[in-house]
Structure formats: structure tokens, C-alpha cells
Amino acid sequence: MVAEFLAAFRARGIRVGLYYSLLDWHHPDYPASGDAYHPSRDDPALPSDGQHFDRYLDYLHGQVRELCTNYGTLDLLWFDFSYDAMTADTWRARELIEMVRNLQPGALIDNRLEASGTDKASIVTDHPTPFSGDFASPEQIIPIEGIRTPSGEPVPWEACITLNNNWGYHAFDTAWKPPELIVRKLVECVSKGGNLLLNVGPDARGRIPQPSLDVLAEVGRWLAANGESIYGAGPSDLPKPEWGRYTRRVDDSDGEVVYAHVLEGQVGPLALAALNRDDIDGIRLVADGSELRIADGWISEGSPGLTLVPFGPEGGYTYPLPDPVDTVLAITLRSHS
């Protein structure tokens, strides 16, 4: 089955990864009684001393070896999860990581051999361990300012978020996050140097719930029109504006492009306060490519360097945002080289 769904993804040009649970509650050698999470943890008849835990670890390492050997090139291996004393060397993590690096040298690995649902692990220090992984994985939260080491170096990270409040299917959980929230949280992650890992939970027949499909379809429509501000983009050095967020990308064809994600309507034109108009080569609406001008005349008098962008024909008038969810402007900067 694993081979079949990986082939299906690859046929669509999608890079593939596998999730592996470090906890196997069906295995008789996994200590159950007294464990923090095992569903039968209150059953005193089940083993709790971990007498055969090494046998369980041999089984775990054997499964990971199979996944890294029999299913082609993996782009990602996502371990989940460590807790309490069950962390890092408990899983023989050094040995496990060495095996994965040898068998799948190009695979990205998360940090959950060491920590779960938090960025408080050695990957966020200036001296990560071999089993720290390649990125941090905060859960159900977006870091306030991204994630950095104590010396200020950025740490790759992705926020793990559900579409409602449950990771698996839950028939009575109808607290679906609206598509505009998902779009804006995706933009927030990119603007802070992170990624958004969005979870869906299929039901017992393997069907994705219709509300999930509806949300994903709306997010997909927005990305189809505005994806250049997300894919391959990252944070900008500009301060966060009051009306939204900035992302940025640099490529050979367009040079440096800053993307203004406008999330709030304005009275009058949009003020790009952090950008001097003399540094701007052009501004366009990403969704349809239409050129936007910088307002001239009385509206910019007294602030000759201030960049004011109207969304209609008159510079001093107020117009509705073209996209109330997130109107994205591509601002191409002049090269000073």
C-alpha cells in the first residue's frame, strides 16, 4: 500500500515523505502500564518495566530501515513523537539517524526524536545534536517571531495545524477553520521564515470530510492566483505593516520582489511606509498582473518619498480591496548594483 500511494504522488510531480510513529501500542514489548499516553495505561496486568524494550527498538529500527530501503527516494521522514523520559537516546536516536542519513541522504527529518510539539529542543541552540533533525515543528501554534538560535541564526520550522481541532477524524468536531484564516496563517508562516503543515483526517472509509475539501479548494484557488508570493518566498527585512504582512523572493528574471499582503481595507491609498518610491521599479496586482501606479499630486505632497498605492483610478479616493481575504501586490525593487 505504501508503494502504491507514493507512486500516485510521484506521478503528479509531488515530492513524497513518510510519517513514522515511534509509539506502537499494539506491540507486546511496548511498556503500557503507567505510560503517559498508552490507551491501556491503567491496566496493571500489562507490562510496565520495559524488560523487552530493546526488542521493541529492534522492531522499530527494522521498520524504518524497510521504509528507507524499499520505497524509492524519500524527500521527508517525519518521526512522531517523544515525551517525558521517552526521548532521544531512549529510541537509540543516534543509531537511527545515522541509518536514515546513510540510506536516504537527501531526506529532511523533523526534530521529534528529541521533542514534540515544541521548538524547545537542541535544534534551537547553537550546537544541535546529530538527532536534532533539520527543522523544528511547533504544534497548533505559530511562533510570534519565527524561530532563531540564541545567537540569532534562523532555524527552519513548520507549524503543524489541524483543519478543525482533531488530528484524526472526529464526527462531532465541526469547528472548521475558515479558508481565509488558513490563507492568512500560511502567509504569516512564510513571512516569518516558516512553513505550514496542514492536517486532514479521513474517515473510516478513507474519505476526506466535505468541509475539509471545501476549505482546501478555497485555499487552492487563492494559491493558484497568488502562489508566487508563497512558493519559494520567505521573510522580508521590512517591518510588519499595520495592514498586513510582507514576503520576499529573489530570482534571476525579476530580481528582488517584495510581496505586500494587504489584509485590511484602507481609507484612501495604501501606504507602503517602509518603501521609498525611488527604490521601486514597478508594482502589479499578483492575481491578474495588472499594473498599479503610485499616487501623485496633492495626496503625496509633503511626503515626496512616501509610496502611496491606490486601488482605483483616483489617488485620493477609497476603493474596496480586490481580494478581501488577501490582496497581494508584487513590488519589484530597483537594483543598486
pLDDT given for residue 40 in this prediction: 87
Torsions phi, psi for 111 (to 5 deg): -100, 15
- 214 and 305, same structural domain? no
- 101 and 32, same structural domain? yes
- Rounded Cα distance between 143 and 154, Å, is 12
- 242 and 212, same structural domain? no
- Rounded Cα distance between 160 and 199, Å, is 7
Cα→Cα distances 82→48, 61, 118, 324, Å: 17, 15, 11, 41
- 302 and 153, same structural domain? no
Do residues 88 and 121 make contact, with C-beta atoms less than 8 angstroms apart?
Answer: no
- pLDDT by residue (tens digit) across 116-169? 766 566 777 888 888 889 999 999 999 999 999 889 899 999 999 999 999 999
Q: At which of 195, 229, 263 does a domain end?
A: 229
* Predicted TM-score (pTM) above 0.85: yes
Helix H, strand E, coil C: the string for 239-258 is: CCCCCEEEEEEEECCCEEEE
pLDDT given for residue 253 in this prediction: 78
Using DSSP's 3-state secondary structure scheme, residue 95 falls into: helix
For the chain, the farthest-separated pair of C-alpha atoms sits apart, in whole angstroms, at: 83
Angle between the N-to-C axes of helices 210-226 and 179-191, in degrees from 0 to 180, rounded to the nearest 10: 50
- 205 and 247, same structural domain? no
Task: Take residue 252 and report the three cell numbers written for it.
Answer: 534571476
> Look-up: residue for cell 501586490?
329
Do residues 94 and 113 make contact, with C-beta atoms less than 8 angstroms apart?
Answer: no
- Rounded Cα distance between 141 and 29, Å, is 34
Using DSSP's 3-state secondary structure scheme, residue 78 falls into: strand
pLDDT given for residue 300 in this prediction: 64
- 225 and 120, same structural domain? yes
Q: At which of 210, 229, 248 does a domain end?
A: 229
Type and span of the H or E element at 58 = helix 53-69
How big is the chain, counted in residues? Answer: 337
Low-confidence ranges of the chain (pLDDT < 50): none
- 281 and 208, same structural domain? no
Beta carbons within 8 Å of 157's beta carbon, 6+ residues apart: 119, 135, 136, 137, 138, 143, 146, 147, 193, 194, 195
Helices (H), 108-256: 179-191, 210-226
- Residue 201 belongs to a domain with what CATH number? 3.20.20.80
- Nearest CA-CA partner of 101 in 132, 126, 128: 132
Q: At which of 229, 255, 273 does a domain end?
A: 229
- 202 and 267, same structural domain? no
Cis peptide before 81 (omega within 30 of 0): yes
255-262/327-333 β-pairing: antiparallel
The three-point CA angle 100-6-170 to 5° equals 100
As for how many domains the chain has, the answer is 2
- 243 and 191, same structural domain? no
- Residue 246 belongs to a domain with what CATH number? 2.60.40.1180
- Rounded Cα distance between 292 and 282, Å, is 8
Q: Is the dihedral of CA 232, 235, 240, 241 positive or negative?
A: negative
- 122 and 89, same structural domain? yes
User: Exposed, middle or buried: residue 41 (CB in 10 Å: 0-12, 13-18, 19+)?
Assistant: middle
Q: Which residues of 252-266 are buried (b: 16+ CB within 10 A; e: fewer)?
A: eeeebbbbbbbbeeb
- 185 and 261, same structural domain? no
- 171 and 305, same structural domain? no
Domain span holding position 68 = 2-229
pLDDT given for residue 119 in this prediction: 57
Strand segments, DSSP code E, in 263-326 are 270-276, 280-285, 291-292, 306-309
